[in-house]
Structure 1
Amino acid sequence: SRLVEKYSLIHNPPNYPIVGRNAFAHRSGIHVHGVIEEPACYEPFDPSLVGQSRRIVFGKHTGKHGVKMFLEQLGIRATEEQLSAIAAKVRELGEAKKVLMDEDVFAIAEAVLGGIPEGERPLKLKELVVVTGSNVTPTASVSIEMGGREIRAASTGVGPVDASAKAIEKAIGAIGHYTLDEFRVEAITGGTDSLASVEVSIRDRMMNRFKARAVDDDIVMASVTALIDAINRAMLYERLRSGRGQGGATAQPDARPIKA
């Protein structure tokens, strides 16, 4: 089929039976689960017999079984909680972007697997409002929860990301002082709807460095999530170093500073 395609210059449609790119692609969570448990449910023969391979299509219907299969193919193991978190993020982003590429899902998995568990985060972002535009000073307002209380702050900046970072800095000013050391943005795949991967590095008063990464279809949200995650790491390290870990918690590798 591919030889004929090559010489005729007539490309097979993706939905073409047996030889099309989507012939052995599976999307729905229940559908994928069925294929993993018993391939014969949806595949009359092994895809490799015709030079094809089974493929999981990620989007708003993705379940954790599809995510688990994808990660295992890459040699990555994740807990049930992490799989659920990755699948939830994939579904959330799939609502805005019809289909996510493998690179997108891998980046999401990296961000989740390297993150701090929900219950151990000192800071939680409750709300972010950003206003920007032509002839408008970029302004950001944030609401952060810490220890059961809500902290609100607002600030302006040279852009929406800068305004958001300054608002967060103002909100946590009474808690601790952290300096943004490094900020990197990368488009995971091409196109204006590509997911943004943001990596930040901050330093505390003792010049310890903490890194964090976040992925989102909104560059501002990715930036804010990464920044708060980095601050959480710094706060956890300070808490563990001073022996104030809640419930006698043991030191977490994720909370340790990075040697410069």
Structure 2
Amino acid sequence: MNIYKEINNLYEFIREQKKKGRSAGLVPTMGALHEGHLTLIKRCRAENDICIVSIFVNPAQFGPNEDYTRYPRPLERDQNLLCGLADVLFLPEAGSFYLPEHCTWVNSDKNADILCGAYRPGHFQGVLTIVLKLFNVTMPDRAYFGKKDYQQYFLINSMCRDLNLPVSVIPCDLIRDSDGLAMSSRNIYLDPDQRKRALALSSALGHAQKLVRQGEINAGKILAAVENMLLEKNLKIDYTEIRNKLTLEACTKIDINSILLSAVYVDHIRLIDNIELAGMEKT
């Protein structure tokens, strides 16, 4: 595994590989890797000649009162996990991506201010900007994103479409732990009691899917049932919403494209999850 920290050095390496006709896949991460990340990386490796993984805790996507300084950074562990899986590990410094005079950002006029965007102002501006930067440096043919962060995947895919970027954005299934909790680097924050309470999130989503399978199509009734289950475990709800997965427009009735998305706090720890209500996923 080759490790690059300098943008120009990686850029030159990728250019040389492209001249040889080799395809490149990218898995952008913020580190603290778990099995969800490894699933993306294994798929990337299988579908491309070169598998590139980036680890960069992006300051631009964190708000002033969020966990940027506390975000887990077990770099040595991550590097060990990547050996034998990734061909290239990109470890840029914040100063190389955001120069003092940096003043150009990527914004979406649609769907960036709903769901997580309504509660994390500027978050998706930071996400889209760093992803575009990573695409420019690594020149991937394909980039892999987990569907746990569904809104993020949706906006990145829209950015590639709207800006005519020659990158195929590949959505990969949400991965859960054996107890049903969606895998997240932030799960490390949970103590045993908090983790037990956090399971109410995946349980509530699974209950919503069960209601749909039993014939319920009224979105309002499904959301009320989900919110009651979350509040019973003293979880603070940022949002629970049912949207069309193809447009992110709000749904009042359930159809084949309906997806339930939720963000909650277990004490001070924010978790997100989602489920396709007419899909086959089980929590």
State TM-score, norm by structure 2.
0.27
State TM-score, norm by structure 1.
0.29
Higher relative contact order (CA 8 A, sep 6+): 2
